[in-house]
Amino acid sequence: MRKINSNKLSKIWHDLYSSTINVRSVDLFITNESCHWHDNDDEIFAVLNGMVNMHYRKEHQVIIIKLNSGDVFFGNEGTEHKIYSIGEARILIIKQLQFE
């Protein structure tokens, strides 16, 4: 799990961090509430507007990371997580499409 603040990029077209996932789904969400606990394959969360708290479980503890506009969060496969919106937020989520 890793958080990146895209507002701190200082060079044009310079990667602060890159990640490779097998993208199958790109979703834009507007929310003012939380979602349920879940674990997926790798996911990337980009907060376009607003603020959210990303909760994730690591070794039986809940870790909370505050994400502001411009922050990008990389969620690792199999890590259980949940987003709590602080007011209205717009979040771009890039993930693998899950087939049941």
With beta carbons less than 8 A apart as the criterion, state whether 35 and 83 touch: yes
15-44 residue pLDDT tens: 555 555 566 777 778 888 888 888 877 888
With beta carbons less than 8 A apart as the criterion, state whether 78 and 36 touch: no
Q: Where are the domains of the chain?
A: 2-10+20-95
40-55 residue pLDDT tens: 778 888 999 999 999 9
- Rounded to two decimals, the pTM is 0.73
Radius of gyration from C-alpha coordinates of the chain: 13
Q: Which of 80, 55, 50, 75 is nearest to 65 (CA)?
A: 55
Mean pLDDT of 57-73: 93
Residue 13 confidence (pLDDT) above 50 = no
* Domain spanning 2-10+20-95: CATH superfamily: Jelly Rolls (2.60.120.10)
Distance CA 94, CA 72 (A): 11
